[in-house]
Amino acid sequence: MTRLPLSFVAFAGFGIFWGVWGAALPALRQTAGVSDAQLGGALLCVGLGALPAMLFTGRAVDRFGTRITGLLLATLAVAGILVAVFARDIVAVCVGMLLVGATSGASDVAANALAGGE
């Protein structure tokens, strides 16, 4: 029996998060009481959070190796849960999207580094 490469598991976890997260956005919008335009603006914060995290994660992977990938994916899941629990207005949604973006960017870099090393 062949062993499934860890990069497959990492990318599956990443894809599962974004699939569930995308499906949860309408409920998040309704819970937070924000308009479609406000949610769209808040989603821009995902990219804003991801960019600096990607830079720092590259350095962290160089220093600590790809073993941090699982930790970063778990942090991404926790960030998604925190946004769902605490997003009650536009400010909380934007801050949460920054957090999701940062953890998503970090997880993406780590998963790609893991795949490149296998």
- 18 phi, psi to nearest 5 deg: -70, -30
Give per-residue pLDDT as tens, 76-106. Answer: 999 999 998 998 999 999 999 999 999 999 9
Dist CA 12 CA 77 (whole Å): 13
Listing DSSP states for 16-63 in one string gives HHHHHHHHHHHHHHHHHT--HHHHHHHHHHHHHHHHHHHHHHHHHHHH
The one-letter code for the residue type at 54 is M
Give per-residue pLDDT as tens, 1-37. Answer: 566 788 888 899 999 999 999 999 999 999 999 999 9
Q: Residue 2, class by beta-carbon neighbours within 10 Å (0-12 exposed, 13-18 middle, 19+ buried)?
A: exposed
